[in-house]
Amino acid sequence: MHDPRQNLDTLLEIALNELGQQVTSDEVENWERKYIGKTGIFTQRSRMVGQLPAEERAAFGKRINDIKATLLQAYADREKLVKEHELARDLEQGQIDVTLPGRAHPVGGLHPSTTTLREFYAIWAEMGFQVYRSRDVETDEMNFELLNIPAHHPARDMWDTFHTTTPGVVLRTHTSPGQIHAMREFGEGGTQPIRVILPGMCYRYEQVSVRSEIQFHQVEGVAIGKHIHLTDLKGTIAEFARRMFGADKDVRFRSSYFPFTEPSMEVDVECLLCGGKGCQMCKYSGWLEIAGCGMMHPVVLRNGGYDPSEWSGFAFGMGPERMINLKYGVKDIRYYWGNDLRFLEQF
């Protein structure tokens, strides 16, 4: 039977000499497996202790453990030295340039529509309006009837509507149905004034083109109280436009038509690109359209629970994507939903 005590000192000397000759990390790892790994020479010797007489096992166990401790320390020192040499060699050969900046992990950002919506929220909050969210799927009654647009009304031709499989249920074509929801929820039976903005997505069955999409954001606004006049509406919209586009920008109002407001107006702001002198962006008019607005129609007030003989109010609507187009000269609305990072990362 092989004696496990045989040649221990000779094997130790051979192992240490071999370790001193290893010059790469792989060679050092191979040495470790050969001598002190799970199947290494000294590991196998330690498992042969049962072959010795009982009185000699303790002394042999201590000796083999001392040898393994010596080899483990030698292995750790050699491994550290070899790695330092390898790193120095890599630096000399140019494989690692420690002067280069680190590679930043890509971080996501907010969609330009989201950023603009948050800007809207901040401005209107400073002006006393709270955010109210209404649903994307509406009844025909909420989307049209209660907004003074009955089935026979020609104004329905203004919207190409997405209908659902449930009769009388549509995807909302504008955020204006939220007016009725807000009045009924916050008006407390037509006894309380309200100021809300209603942001959300609208849907229209349209030909997708540079200027039109089947979905887009809209921000509706409603203010109801006693003794609210057209001058209040004009002052409020003008203040928003100056906060959004700059205090030096002029604002103008043009008469228009909406079924749910009377009188109705379109709002223009001085062209951001040419300063009102006329350019291709403003079609050489010097003005850019930013919103539609008007005094709330008595029928709509009544449908929301208010007595139009005592209460009055105004409403407005504007599109975040249109604002971005005006501020940054974006000419294709399809970019907002194309998920092209080359476009989105510019914001």
**pLDDT attached to residue 109:** 85
User: pLDDT by residue (tens digit) across 163-186?
Assistant: 889 998 999 999 999 999 999 999
Assign 102 a pLDDT band (cuts: 50, 70, 90): confident
pLDDT greater than 70 at residue 340: yes
Distances (CA, A) of 22 to 17, 30, 33, 75, 78: 9, 9, 13, 10, 8
How many residues make up the chain in this entry? 347
What 3-state DSSP class applies to 295?
strand
Query: ω before 263 within 30° of 0 (cis)?
Result: yes
Torsion of CA 255, 259, 263, 268, to 10 degrees: -40
Q: What count of other Cβ atoms lies within 10 Å of the Cβ of residue 114?
A: 13
The answer to which of 32-46, 164-178, 247-261 has the lowest mean pLDDT is 32-46
pLDDT at 346 over 90: no
pLDDT band at 52 (very low <50, low <70, confident <90, very high): confident
- Greater model confidence, 16 or 123: 123
Residue found under tokens 């030295």: 81
Q: Please determine, for residue 49, whether its predicted confidence score (pLDDT) is greater than 90.
A: no
pLDDT at 86 over 90: no
- The answer on pLDDT for 158 being more than 80 is no
**Region of poorest pLDDT, from 51-60, 152-161, 183-192, 300-309:** 152-161
Region label for 190, one of left (φ > 0), alpha (ψ between -120 and 50) or beta (otherwise)? left
- Give 138's pLDDT tier (boundaries 50, 70, 90): very high
Compare 36 and 99 and report the one with higher pLDDT: 36
Residue 237 has pLDDT above 50, yes or no: yes
Cβ(117)–Cβ(199) below 8 Å:
yes
pLDDT for 1: 41
Does residue 10 surpass a pLDDT of 80?
A: yes
Tens-place pLDDT, residues 256-269: 999 999 999 999 99
Looking at residue 327, its pLDDT comes to 80
3-state SS of 253-291 is: EEEEEECCEEEEEEEEEECCCCCCCCCCCCCCCCEEEEE
- Which sign, positive or negative, has the C-alpha torsion 51, 56, 58, 62? negative
Query: What was the pLDDT predicted at 205?
Result: 83
What's the rounded mean pLDDT across residues 86-96? 73
pLDDT confidence bin for 96, thresholds 50/70/90: low
Distances (CA, A) of 137 to 156, 188, 203: 17, 24, 10
Q: What is the pTM of this model?
A: 0.67
Lowest mean per-residue pLDDT among 117-131, 201-215, 224-238: 201-215
pLDDT at 288: 85
* pLDDT for res 294: 96
Average predicted confidence (pLDDT) for the chain: 88
